[in-house]
Amino acid sequence: MKVLVVRFSSIGDVVLTTPVVRCLAQQLPDAEIHFITKKSFLPVLEGNPYIHRIFTIDKSVKEVLSELKAERYDVVIDLHRNVRTLRLKWALGRKSYAFPKENVAKWMLTNWKIDRMPPVHVVDRYFETVKPLGVSKDDRPCDFFLSEKDHVELPEPIASGKFIAVSMGAQFATKQMPLSLMTDVLSEISLPIVLLGGPTDTERAEVLKSMLNSSNIIDFCGKLSLRQSAFVLSKAAALLTGDTGLMHIATAFKVPVVSVWGNTVPAFGMYPYAQPALYSIHEVTGLSCRPCSKIGYQACPRKHFNCMLLQDVDGIRKALVEKTRF
């Protein structure tokens, strides 16, 4: 059997497909598993021993369509389910299964604040897609496979792993913790603090360092690849984060996660895929405007950003101390 798994984006969503990939490979031992995603998310899947071949695209499936057709797949597992994947499945003309995306329920929750979302994690919905193949979940976490080239020489203050990792960025600003909230939470943390993020997070990192005014901070923003950041994260005592891709990568290494939610809500099913003892969720409930989007915005549509600015600082800090694995 030859299987094509489809998930084009984004970091967290691709990470969350890995339990399905693993179970496909382990429960269908004669199957050959292929995966297609956007080129920018290839680092999430590199080195995954359960995937035999990875196809990547920049903008269009047409870039690899002839190669995909030549594979003559037995089945396509659509874990994205949008117009692009519909066109891909039509072009391939092979048997396919798509996960229940619950777009209507998401729309009702976002626009009418009526919660009709199924009370299950999105990974469980992904597994509904492969049920016809006789594949079921194994209750193990997500996968992220590092190689020796991803290793980073950690300076002495954090070489032992006794540090708090902080995710500085997010795809949308309304998923990011405000710098003032980060400062309030971290100002009384005694362990070293390691800032993780990409080149677009360097300015925020500089401002946070000046606000904390501490020599106990190591800033890796813009200095590491995603996979190198994952290596550093794998050594952390805990992660403080918004609703981000690093939150999901942390679960692959069983790093305790303290997640702070802004405009999105865990009810969408994208909370950490881990044992409950390994994570905590912090959100401002009772806001009539939340959730305002199933993804996010570059600024609060109501201009007050209460979903982040009204967070319980003491509760977040307490959770960070309690979850720290030292």
Question: How confident is the model over 18-64, as pLDDT tens digits?
Answer: 999 999 999 999 999 999 999 999 999 999 999 999 999 999 999 99
Note if the pTM is more than 0.75: yes
* pLDDT of 325: 85
Average pLDDT rounded to a whole number, residues 108-116: 97
Over residues 269-290, the mean pLDDT reads 97
How many Cα neighbours within 13 Å face the side chain of 131?
Answer: 10
pLDDT at 108 (0 to 100) = 98
Looking at residues 198-209, what average pLDDT do you find? 97
Residue 326: predicted pLDDT: 74
Measured between alpha carbons, how far is 194 from 203 in angstroms, rounded to an integer? 15
pLDDT higher than 90, residue 286: yes
Asked if pLDDT for residue 214 goes beyond 80, the answer is yes
Q: CATH for 148-323?
A: 3.40.50.2000
Quick: pLDDT tens for 222-258. Answer: 999 999 999 999 999 999 999 999 999 999 999 999 9
Tokens matching residue 75:
């089945």
Question: How many other CB atoms sit within 10 Å of the CB of residue 40?
Answer: 14
Beta strands in the chain (DSSP E): 2-6, 32-38, 53-57, 75-78, 96-98, 164-167, 193-196, 217-219, 238-241, 257-260, 279-282
Q: What is the pLDDT of residue 315?
A: 98
Tell me the average pLDDT across 260-273. 98
CA 163-167-173 angle, to 5 degrees, is 160
> Is residue 10 reached through a cis peptide bond, with omega within 30 degrees of 0 on the bond before it?
yes
295 to each of 229, 265, 286, 292, 298, how far by Cα in Å?
23, 10, 19, 9, 10
Is pLDDT of 137 > 80? yes
**pLDDT grade for 320, boundaries at 50, 70 and 90:** very high
Q: d(Cα 210, Cα 214) in Å, to the nearest integer?
A: 8
CATH of 2-133, one of 3.40.50.300, 3.30.70.360, 3.40.640.10, 3.40.50.2000: 3.40.50.2000
Residue 155, preceding peptide bond in cis (omega within 30° of 0): no
**Identical topology for domains 2-133 and 148-323:** yes
Q: How far is CA 210 from CA 92, 190, 216, 308, in A?
A: 54, 17, 12, 21
Q: Closest by alpha carbon to 50, among 149, 148, 140?
A: 140
Domain residue limits, the chain: 2-133, 148-323
Q: Which two three-digit tokens encode residue 324?
A: 């720290």
